[in-house]
Structure 1
Amino acid sequence: MTKTILITGSTDGIGKLAALKLAEAGHQVYVHGRNADKLTSVIAEVKAVATGAAVDNIGGFVADFSDLNAVRKMAAEVNEKLPKLDVLINNAGINTTASVMTKDGLDVRFVVNYLAPRELTNALLPLLKKSSEARIVNLSSAAQDPISYKAFVGQERLDDKDAYAQSKLALTMWSMDLADTVAADDINVIAVNPGSLLNTKMVDEAYGEYWASADKGANILTELAISDEFANDSGKYFDNDIKDGAHGDARGEFGQPHADALDKEAITELERQTQTVLQSLSA
């Protein structure tokens, strides 16, 4: 069955590869990027490989995920353009950057890697509820560290590694909670570490080396998005490193995220801190 799929951060890396694979399989794919020219180019590439009815249903949306107002504007555009959404892949992410703080004084990793997908997903839940078997795939990481809430609210600076790992734990904690929240709506939520040190631009900029192909990550995103194998796995964490210790292209399996992702008190505190930040931004 043809699905309507939105992939954030899909003008490069595993997001783009997944978009190409899903369009080639006949699905209606919508990509996202922050650069309009690059987005237009990628849409053309995806259209070129699309099959079936998907050829006429390939598009995209522009938004800078470091700006939550831009994220909300994009969500409104998606809600206006699409009659329903079957799969949302929250793939957009950032690790190293020259501009660490946003215009609102927050670490850009917490904004792009956690707050932006959270805001986008919540705004798109009405569209997802129109699908008979909706899925949300959230891009976590093997790097997950306990959150410093001083850093989260912009009162403390972190190095790139710590900011990235903490933001990815925040995303994973929210994913586990979201799965419970939308269970009654038959929406499947899975967090995934797509594989450590994949051959992508982000990894090259952060580490200068890679352990496995970008296809490894794109393949698991594609499977989590559409395969019947994962139809009943909501609230789980897929670790694509497990079977081969991150080296090589073998697929992983479900595993355990950081303990805080399964800790109700820790999740409650994250939600409290998140609401405080969001309220400060809207003040």
Structure 2
Amino acid sequence: MRFVVNTIAPYQLTQALLPMLGATGRVVNLSSAAQASVNLDALQGLRQPNDSDAYAQSKLALTMWSGALGMQYAQPGPMIVAVNPKSFLGSKMVKDAYCVAGNDLALGADILIRAALSEEFSHAHGLYFDNDLESLASPHPDALNEAKVEQVVAVIERLAAK
């Protein structure tokens, strides 16, 4: 289920909106610092990882397709970026999973607004912004491995077409 919500649905929404976005449009995908190698069987629903593994894998898969699509549409096209809004924000998920109050949700909201509207992100095509570091950063190494990205994107495209 996490892959459907965190990876497949945003991909389908982005694909549906791309024709309407134009060269100055932006897609800001909600990623996470929690990223783990994507198990293709889990992505396809053939294997059920535990909740934290599924979350981390789904966020890496989102980051991978964001990077691939962002580079594909870099010129001319909408800017597509994956953003870790901040680790341990005070969301229900963080409170339930870690029994901590978490950081101010406004920190996460602010960076998403900046990514969507500020000039600072106008050339962030296909990149990953880590708000823990408050800068563009390298995502999980798998997101930089072209062969792995192609495999994950191919599965996502097949699932999205169903």
With normalisation by structure 1, the TM-score equals: 0.55
Q: For residues 67-102 of structure 1, give each alpha carbon's deviation from its aligned partner in whole angstroms, at most 9, with x where no partner exists.
A: xxxxxxxxxxxxxxxxxxxxxxxxxxxxxxxxxxxx
Could you say what secondary structure the match of 1:192 adopts? strand
- Match of 2:112? 221
1:1-80 mapped onto 2 (5 Å cutoff): none
Distance in 2, Cα, partners of 1:228 & 1:137: 14
Closer, same or farther in 2 for the Cα pair 1:212/1:262, shift >3 Å?
same
1:272/1:186 CA distance change after superposition, 3 Å: closer
Cα deviation 1:27-58 (Å, max 9, x = unaligned): xxxxxxxxxxxxxxxxxxxxxxxxxxxxxxxx
Deviation readout 1:220-255 (Å, 9 max, x if unpaired): 11111111122122221111112xxxxxxxxx1111
Unaligned 5+ segments in structure 1 are 1-107, 243-251
Q: How far 1:158 moved relative to its partner?
A: 0.8
Residues 1:232 and 1:277: Cα distance change in structure 2 (over 3 Å): closer
Letter in 2 for 1:237: Y
* Number of the residue aligned with 1:193: 84
Contact map agreement 2:64 2:149 (CA 8 A) in 1: yes
Match of 1:70 in 2: none
Q: CA deviation at 1:174?
A: 0.3
CA distance in 1, matches of 2:19, 2:33: 31
Cα separation, 2, equivalents of 1:278 and 1:134: 22
Q: CA deviation at 1:207?
A: 2.2
What residue in structure 1 maps to residue 154 of structure 2? Answer: 272
Question: Equivalent pairs: percent with the same residue?
Answer: 44
Which residue number corresponds to residue 164 of structure 1? 55
Contact kept in structure 1, 2:91 and 2:102, CA below 8 Å: no
1:258 to 140, 148, 160: 140
CA contact (8 A) 2:11 2:160 kept: no
What CA distance in whole angstroms lies between the structure 1 residues aligned with 2:125 and 2:110?
19
Instruction: Name stretches of at least 5 consecutive residues in structure 2 with no aligned partner.
Output: none
TM-score normalised by the chain length of structure 2: 0.93
Q: In the comparison of the two structures, how many residue pairs are matched?
A: 162
**Which has more radius of gyration?**
1
Q: Distance in 2 between matches of 1:229 and 1:237?
A: 13
Look up the equivalent residue of 1:146 and give its one-letter code.
S
Higher relative contact order (CA 8 A, sep 6+): 2
